[in-house]
Amino acid sequence: MWDFPYDSPSAISELLERNGFAMSKKFGQNFLLSSSAGDRIASSLGSIDGQQVWEIGPGLGALTARLLGKGALVTAFEIDHGFCRILREQAFADESRFSLVEGDALKTWMGVWESAGTPRAICGNLPYNVGSICIARLLEHQCLPPVMVYTLQREVAERLASEPGSKSWSTLSILAQTDYVVEQLFMIKGGSFYPPPKVDSAVVRLVKRDAPLVDGRIRELFLSVCSDLFSQRRKTVRNNLLQGESGARFGKERCLQALSDAHIVENQRAELLGFDELVRLANAFGSLA
């Protein structure tokens, strides 16, 4: 196993220089230096010995090495071809439990999922620009491993874990919490990365629910109604519904009927609506369809 000092900024910059490349801001490349944070992230996945684990954005392999150390069979998705070369030829060249998928994870994950199925766990220190999109895609397509742990920009982590009534309660919170119990585990300060990003990060864990909060038969309708409700946060639920897909599909009268059947006050804001009310509303639309 490659014994690289992942906690040393000078070792990281020497490695990059030796291989003739610089980090790219475009890909959100900030390497985790803190070994205690790395250990906590790896242990928060639970037992992964002998299990398939996907890692998105392995970089130079700080978390990958820990996953392999815990016995996981790791499939890593990395966009940076230079890092891929280091991972494949130096870091994990002799590691039969490591496989690398080179390219944009947003484009490659689906093919791996179709051929290899859902892994036991997915994790990653996700680049800020792709973090929320990547998680949303997995959830939308119902690629639902028992556990996922992500290091994300604090604001994205808060959106995933937020509760009704909070300003970060959003379609992403609803999408995630339909299938998962989401908890923020701990914060990581910018200084724990190299180079330090301007914003703090947070680690979130998603543990799959025994049963989703929304019946599969109305899931699509539920998500479409939620997307309408949150489309403009300052508007009332009534206006958002009428001006969205729901208005176009059901017409004004039936939208107002559904709100009334679900006992939802028309002129309130969607951020106050919890799962019970949102499900009631989707069911009300369902029975009008």
Near ligand SAM by CB under 6 A: residue from 28, 119, 131, 244: 28
Task: Say which residue the tokens 């994990």 belong to.
Answer: 92
Assigned token pair, 39: 């250990």
Of 73 and 105, CB closest to ligand SAM: 105
Strand partners, 22: none
Q: How far is the CB of 61 from ligand SAM (least distance, A)?
A: 7
Stretch that binds ligand SAM, among 13-21, 51-59, 152-160, 161-169 (CB under 6 A): 51-59
Rounded Cα gap, residues 153 and 209, in angstroms = 24
Binding to ligand SAM by residue 153, rule CB under 6 A? no
- Residue 145: asked if its preceding bond is cis (omega within 30°), the reply is no
Binding mask 108-127 for ligand SAM (x = CB under 6 A): -----------------x-x
Q: Amino acid letter at 260? A: S
Of 57 and 244, CB closest to ligand SAM: 57
> φ, ψ for residue 202 (rounded to 5)?
-135, 150
Q: How far is the CB of 174 from ligand SAM (least distance, A)?
A: 24
Give residue number: closest CB to ligand SAM. Answer: 57
Question: What radius of gyration do the chain's Cα atoms show?
Answer: 21
- Cα dihedral 191→197→202→206 (10° resolution): -130
Query: Contact positions toward ligand SAM, by CB under 6 A?
Result: 27-32, 56-59, 62-63, 77-80, 83, 104-106, 125, 127, 130
